Amino acid sequence: MSTVTATSTASRTRVRRVVTGRPTTVDLVDAGFLFVLGLVALWGFRTTFDSWRFLVVGAIGLILGVAVAHIASTLHQPWFVLALMVVVTFFLFGGAVALSQEAIGGVLPSGQLLGRLADLTISGWKDLLTTLPPVDGTGQFLVLPYLLGLACGAATFSWARRSQHASWPVMLPVLLLVVVILLGTMQPAGLLLHGLGFSLVAFTWVTVRRRRTLRVVGTGTELRHQAAIAVVLLAGSLGIGAVTGGHLPGTDGPRTVLRSFVQPPFDITEFPSPLVGFRKYTEGAKLVWDQELFTVSDTAAGSLVRLAVLDDYAGTVWNAGGASSTGATAFRRVGSTIAPPDNDPELTEQVKAVVTIGAAYAGLADANAWVPSLGYPQSLVFGGDRAKILADSIRYNPGTGQALVAARLSAGDTITLLVSPVPIAGDSFVAGGGSSMAADATQSVNAKAVKWADKKSPGWPQLAAVADTLRNGAYSDGTKSGETQYLPGHSLSRLSSFLTRPQLVGNDEQYAATFALMANSLGVPARVVMGAVLPADGRVRGQDVHAWVEVRSADGGWYAVPSARFMPDRNKSPQQQPQAVADDANAADVPPPNSQRPPGSVDATFDTTPAVVRPPTLLERIAALPPWILLALQVAAYPLIAMVVIVGGLALARALRRRHRRRTGTPSRRLASGWRDYVDHARDLGVVVPAGLTRREEVALVGRADLAQRADAAVFGWGDPDPEAIAAYWADVRSARAEMTLSASRRRQLLRRISLRGLLFRDQRLVERSTATGVQLRIPRFLAMRRTT
């Protein structure tokens, strides 16, 4: 009775210790060192996030991980139980710690939140690497430092408390440091802190753990003297490392991070170039000429509002980069805070602007994905009911400062911007060199560009001469009577027609496209910008939309050349040219036009999304289901897929084992193996068949004495059965299995498909184990015994 009482008291003491959380001094020391190492490692995210909240979230994850590991160690639970506890803790506290905005009351997790945590655990790493840093420090990416801190805290503390080895547990914080660096940016968060600070704390922890199992005796020195010597040695090592670390071989190369090897999964070519439909903004088109597209507040009149920056030309249209764009020219995810460009000329101060989208702009299918801005945004925050949707779908090109939302802008959406405007190129502008455009793209304008440059000095003087020549042309949008021959578009053929006519006639589309191509032809990098000149009331209409050119300076910055610098006045009409009338008798038969017109055709001008009547696909029908049905399907899909994989895998394993039994061993063995397959099938149906029974003894449990007798006759009788007898026996076994399955309950029939009893059962008797040659071995027991002398 006293023994039972003592056991009960010990159990209550252990449970009370877990509940009250009374760690020992050793526990607190290990937890303290682990906490400091984890914070130093997570500090590497400083250049990845735009706020310090990631460090707080990571610290909470470390504390929760240590607490979970302490409870598991106190209860003496195995590693897989610890892993299960970590998973439960991650989902239980994930909403309150990392996604408080989506949790119920900011604390309790919902079903949708649990699914989001699971999704971010799998795909959040890819999203982080494809998002332009710094990412939003209050959004979904906080799940990652929380998960890293939780996993590192639980695994390291559990290893430290269960192992007597002094240094091995420190490897996990080192691994965390490596992971954070690989997930970080090219700009290091703190070389001294990571290199020297982390090493100092790690070596100190290893020393403390080492002294627990090793006592230095007979040295004649006291503990404080040993500590002083250790401090001097560590200080000297750290000093030498700080001085010489930056001069060691390999330190002058680029920083290796995973972000450099990830291809952003976004194709900008899916969005049409808005410059193709420029004519819809003209007065003659009568579409959006007098309609309000958007409003811009807190911004001076006359400012250039960029709608789309187009920096790639392949002979058909000016686009915002190609499908193969990477690095600084690729569109990537971005948070509300955006890092300034490396080539910021720092000639203008940042300005704040609030853009409110109107219904007319939201209705333009070729423009409503492009975010209006005044230059390179440093901060971009969406407002309105769709703010979160827009923030999740934003993509940003750091090379051009252009933002785009795949979810499209709608009426009432607002964008609050803190922008560095693009400066205007003046007479003192010093042009840069080295055009990145292919030679064949500018080949059609090379001759004209050289002629119009008029032997001026390379750079801005040549560009100014070309601009003056273009400005002597005439303006036409091709909609007035007698001007329909001036077609829209800016392909090579259209620009060739624009340049070879007796008079230059076109609108912003042709003039800006030609001027940008000629600038590149003369060796000055240039790109086309479609935007608007902000009126005094801040209400941008179609009549305010223009196209201008931006050129790169010698210092790497980009400067705007307004359309007024190279375009004629809109009131300057073209000269009326007499048109020759062809004789109808000699006119050739003109084939009907192609139903699919190339980019830049009139169809693309007047909008946008052609209606195609077709029945909805299966995926579209599924997407149209109510949200609660879609959520139920998502929740049920993963367990169903896992169940199908498990059931299919087990069925395949049984089929392969059955095939192996029919083809392995002597003929008598192959026939008798059919009985073994029948008995294993019974075990899968829940019948308990102990090991070591003979076949006739197994008949009492599974039935079918006829099959057992035929198996015994094949094994112990004279001669071997022929192949026909073996095939007939296995056919009878198959029928017997089917009869046994039908006689079982429905529950047993279902459980049989996931049962492992038959697959895992092994009879240890040598007579029941077949060798590769099919020979049955019966070894006397005294010969099988090991020698002990």
pLDDT by residue (tens digit) across 694-743? Answer: 888 888 888 888 888 888 888 888 888 888 988 999 999 999 999 999 98
Q: Report percent pLDDT > 70 for the chain.
A: 78
Domain spans, the chain: 17-214, 291-304+325-421, 630-764
Higher pLDDT, 484 or 192: 484
CA atoms within 13 A on the CB side of 406: 15
Does the pLDDT value for residue 611 go beyond 50?
A: no
- The answer to whether the CB of 679 falls within 8 A of the CB of 698 is yes
pLDDT surpassing 50 at residue 3:
no
For residue 10, is pLDDT > 70?
Answer: no
Q: Among 62-66, 392-396, 589-593, name the one with the lowest average pLDDT.
A: 589-593
Whole-angstrom Cα distance, residue 238 to residue 226? 18
- Distance CA(563)–CA(570), nearest Å, equals 11
Encoding tokens for residue 480? 């007035």
Residue 81 pLDDT exceeds 50: yes
- Distance from first CA to last CA of the chain, Å, rounded? 46
Which has the minimum average pLDDT: 96-100, 109-113, 720-724?
Answer: 109-113
- Specify the amino acid at residue 304: L
Please, is 716 exposed, middle or buried when counting C-beta atoms within 10 Å of its C-beta (0-12, 13-18, 19+)? exposed
Mean pLDDT of 333-337: 83
Using 50, 70 and 90 to split pLDDT, how confident is the model at 61?
very high
Rounded to a whole number, what is the largest CA-CA distance in the chain? 124
Q: What is the pLDDT of residue 610?
A: 43
User: Looking at residue 595, what is its pLDDT?
Assistant: 45
Buried/exposed 101-129: b ≥16 CB within 10 Å, e otherwise? ebbeeeeebeeebeebbeebbeebbebbb
Q: Is 421 helix (H, G, I), strand (E, B) or coil?
A: strand
C-alpha–C-alpha distance, residues 204 and 200, integer Å: 6
Reply yes or no on whether the pLDDT at 777 is more than 50: no
Strand partners, 549: 528, 561
Instruction: Evaluate whether 740 touches 663 at the Cβ level (below 8 Å).
Output: no
Could you read off the pLDDT of 550-599 as tens digits, one per residue? 999 988 889 999 999 999 998 898 886 654 444 444 444 445 555 454 44
What tokens appear for 190 in the block? Answer: 């703190």
Higher pLDDT, 76 or 671: 671
Task: Name which residue leads in pLDDT, 451 or 582.
Answer: 451
Does residue 322 or residue 756 have the better pLDDT? Answer: 756
Q: Please count the other Cβ atoms lying within 10 Å of the Cβ belonging to residue 32.
A: 13
Predicted pLDDT of residue 373: 94
- Of 103-117, 381-395, 508-522, 609-623, least confident by mean pLDDT is 609-623
The residue-averaged pLDDT of 654-661 equals 89
pLDDT of residue 264: 57
Give CA–CA dist 355/413, Å, rounded.
Answer: 8
Instruction: Note the pLDDT of residue 581.
Output: 46
Distance, CA of 288 to CA of 542 (rounded, Å)? 5
Handedness of CA 303, 305, 311, 317 (dihedral sign): negative
The length of the chain is 789
At 428, the amino acid letter reads S
Q: Hey, CA dihedral for 111, 113, 116, 117, is it positive or negative?
A: negative
- Mean per-residue pLDDT, 334-354: 73
CA distances from 390 to 62, 174, 350 (A): 33, 38, 23
Mean pLDDT of 243-259: 58
pLDDT for the residue numbered 220? 46
Each residue's pLDDT tens digit, 13-60: 555 555 545 788 889 999 999 999 999 999 988 888 888 899 999 999
pLDDT of residue 546: 95
Please provide the average confidence, as pLDDT, over all residues in the chain: 80
Beta-carbon-side half-sphere exposure of residue 644 (alpha carbons within 13 Å): 6
Q: Is 771 left (phi over 0), alpha (psi -120 to 50) or beta?
A: beta
| Cα 161 from Cα 220, distance rounded (Å) | 32
Write the pLDDT tens digit of every residue in 143-192.
999 999 999 999 999 999 888 888 889 999 999 998 998 888 877 777 77
Summarised one tens digit per residue, pLDDT across range 511-551 is 999 999 999 999 899 999 999 999 999 999 999 999 999 99
Name the nearest CA neighbour of 542 among 288, 305, 363.
288
Counting residues of the chain whose pLDDT is more than 90, the rounded percentage is 31
Peptide bond into 134 cis (omega under 30): yes
Q: Which one-letter amino acid corresponds to residue 419?
A: V
pLDDT per position as a tens digit, 272-310? 889 998 999 998 888 999 999 999 998 889 999 999 999
- CA–CA separation, 371 vs 305, rounded Å? 10
Q: Is the pLDDT of residue 775 over 50?
A: no
Put simply, whether the predicted model's pTM sits higher than 0.85 gets the answer no
**DSSP secondary structure letter of residue 197:** I
Confidence of residue 233 (pLDDT cuts 50, 70, 90): low
Pairwise CA distance, residues 2 & 109, whole Å: 46
Specify the range with the lowest mean pLDDT, choosing from 335-339, 502-506, 576-580, 674-678.
576-580
Point out the least confidently predicted range of 93-107, 116-130, 610-624. 610-624
Question: Does residue 630 register a pLDDT over 90?
Answer: no
Q: How far apart are CA 412 and CA 414, in angstroms?
A: 6
Helix (H, G, I), strand (E, B) or coil at 275: helix
Amino acid identity at 411:
A
